[in-house]
């Protein structure tokens, strides 16, 4: 298997790197990996593209939510590079509106076999972040049609009652991005609403509503759909006794209620009610017996019988730490975001000191990475090394900087918004 040539390309670097001094070697290495991952143009991409990590066991590859994480990671200093990766990504959209999963390079060319599975549609967040930087107002209009077509595809192909599903529930193709997740152990061949897919469609509807207004297009249809799915998520996928969000089939089955990080998605996208978000944070996210492990946020709650050290069934994925921390900030819980980000970055820096690598996923108790399993039924049963797709470490450090408390001369502490939180010991 011959890979495409790498291309000399130097990305602008933050000066200094964000975050704590102890994170600097890790963040510098992350930036080095971004540069090493940039490849020469290869059809259908006519400009350089960034693979999802030189250590990915099935690489070189492009796509999935990995590409969005990578673009967000280098965005402030490199908006042009982030934009080009976004446009590469959106250029793959089929006429049906579906965005395919991952493109793999085989024998020096992209393997373009038609796909029937998609992946989490988080790309509108990248568009909005690019627009916040200014100077690219045409981007919203350029990508609006892509958004509307993708919504149409989900409505035709992934509708389940008042919610939406990923086909993992049917055939274990893992288009949710959570390969072999515990949620799907006892279900097959039924269409029922998935908490992640339903939350992601809330995100698409809300984005369509907001972009329509800015483009002077009628937004009523999407406002109505956004409201309807938000009510469904709040009223039917939240379990009041447990204080957590579940898939539709799990919410009805008390014996299957394993707490997995997927239940945080409604908070991440803003679909949870304020009271529901506070329960997620206080009862689960900041609970050391559940999700506040030494390296937070395990993919399955630490106290669940289903918890193991295998891939998405217990270990930590830093991309999920990033999204959940952003969700905390959206509900004015910067304290939780700060604790989550600092624990994850401290732990990743510690593992970097031990291994000299950035890992695909991490030990929640800061134990040996050798104890983790990937997929025992395959030749690749250890976390990939130098895997960027799920490690937006620079973005995490920037977010930590944005929410960290600042000590004043009188001993009081204020957050980045200038809000006082009293004195500390």
Closest CA to 87 of 120, 44, 119: 44
Provide the β-strand partners of residue 164: 159
pTM score: 0.93
Place of tokens 């939350």: 199
Give the pLDDT confidence score for residue 192 in this predicted structure. Answer: 92
Give the pLDDT confidence score for residue 412 in this predicted structure. Answer: 46
Of the listed ranges 3-7, 64-68, 230-234, the one predicted with least confidence: 3-7
- Which pLDDT band holds residue 408 (cuts at 50, 70, 90)? very low
Domain ranges of the chain: 21-407
Buried b / exposed e across 50-79, counting CB within 10 Å, b at 16+? bbbbbbbbebbbbbbbbbbbbbbbbbbebb
Residues 201, 151: Cα–Cα separation, whole Å: 8
Residues 69, 79: Cα–Cα separation, whole Å: 14
Residues 236, 165: Cα–Cα separation, whole Å: 15
Average pLDDT over the chain reads 91
pLDDT tens for residues 25-79? 999 999 999 999 999 999 999 999 999 999 998 989 999 999 999 999 999 999 9
Q: How many helices (H) and strands (E) does the chain have?
A: 14, 12
CATH topology of domain 21-407: Glycosyltransferase (1.50.10)
| 310 DSSP assignment | B
Where residue 50 falls (left for φ over 0; alpha for ψ -120 to 50; beta otherwise) is: beta
How far, in Å, are 32, 41, 103, 124, 350 from residue 45 at the CA level? 22, 6, 11, 20, 37
- Which pLDDT band holds residue 185 (cuts at 50, 70, 90)? confident
Classified as helix, coil or strand, 322 is: helix
- Which pLDDT band holds residue 253 (cuts at 50, 70, 90)? low
Backbone angles phi, psi at 23, to 5 degrees: -90, -10
Give the pLDDT confidence score for residue 421 in this predicted structure. Answer: 43
pLDDT tens for residues 189-229? 788 999 999 999 999 999 999 999 999 999 999 999 999 99
Give the pLDDT confidence score for residue 417 in this predicted structure. Answer: 45
Classified as helix, coil or strand, 70 is: helix
């Amino acid at each position: 298997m011959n890979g495409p040539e790498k291309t000399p390309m130097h990305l602008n670097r933050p000066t200094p790197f964000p975050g704590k001094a102890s994170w600097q070697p890790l963040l510098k290495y992350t930036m080095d990996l971004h540069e090493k991952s940039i490849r020469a143009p290869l059809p259908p991409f006519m400009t350089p593209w960034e693979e999802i990590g030189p250590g990915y066991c099935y690489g070189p590859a492009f796509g999935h939510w990995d590409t969005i994480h990578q673009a967000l990671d280098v965005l402030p200093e490199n908006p042009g590079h982030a934009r080009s990766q976004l446009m590469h990504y959106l250029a793959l959209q089929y006429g049906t509106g579906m965005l395919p999963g991952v493109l793999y390079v085989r024998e020096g060319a992209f393997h373009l076999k038609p796909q029937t599975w998609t992946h989490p549609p988080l790309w509108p967040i990248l568009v909005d972040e690019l627009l916040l930087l200014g100077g690219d107002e045409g981007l919203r209009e350029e990508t609006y049609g892509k958004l509307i077509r993708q919504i149409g595809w989900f409505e035709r192909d992934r509708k389940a009652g008042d919610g939406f599903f990923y086909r993992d529930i049917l055939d274990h193709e893992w288009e949710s991005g959570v390969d072999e997740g515990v949620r799907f152990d006892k279900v097959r061949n039924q269409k029922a609403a998935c908490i992640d897919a339903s939350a992601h469609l809330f995100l698409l509807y809300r984005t369509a509503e907001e972009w329509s207004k800015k483009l002077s297009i009628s937004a009523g249809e999407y406002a109505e759909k956004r409201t309807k799915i938000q009510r469904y998520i709040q009223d039917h996928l939240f379990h009041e006794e447990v204080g957590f969000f579940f898939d539709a089939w799990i919410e009805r089955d008390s014996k299957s209620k394993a707490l997995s990080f997927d239940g945080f998605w409604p908070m991440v996208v803003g679909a949870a009610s304020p009271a529901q978000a506070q329960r997620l944070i206080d009862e689960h996210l900041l609970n050391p017996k559940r999700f506040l492990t030494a390296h937070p946020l395990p993919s399955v709650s630490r106290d669940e019988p289903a918890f193991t050290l295998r891939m998405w069934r217990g270990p930590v994925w830093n991309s999920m730490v990033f999204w959940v921390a952003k969700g905390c900030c959206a509900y004015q819980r910067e304290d939780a975001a700060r604790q989550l980000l600092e624990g994850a970055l401290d732990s990743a820096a510690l593992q970097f000191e031990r291994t000299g690598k950035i890992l695909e996923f991490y030990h929640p108790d800061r134990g040996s990475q050798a104890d983790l399993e990937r997929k025992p039924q395959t030749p690749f049963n250890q976390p990939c090394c130098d895997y960027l797709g799920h490690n937006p470490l620079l973005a995490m450090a920037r977010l930590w900087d944005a929410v960290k408390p600042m000590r004043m001369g009188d001993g009081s502490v204020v957050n980045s918004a200038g809000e006082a939180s009293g004195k500390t010991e």
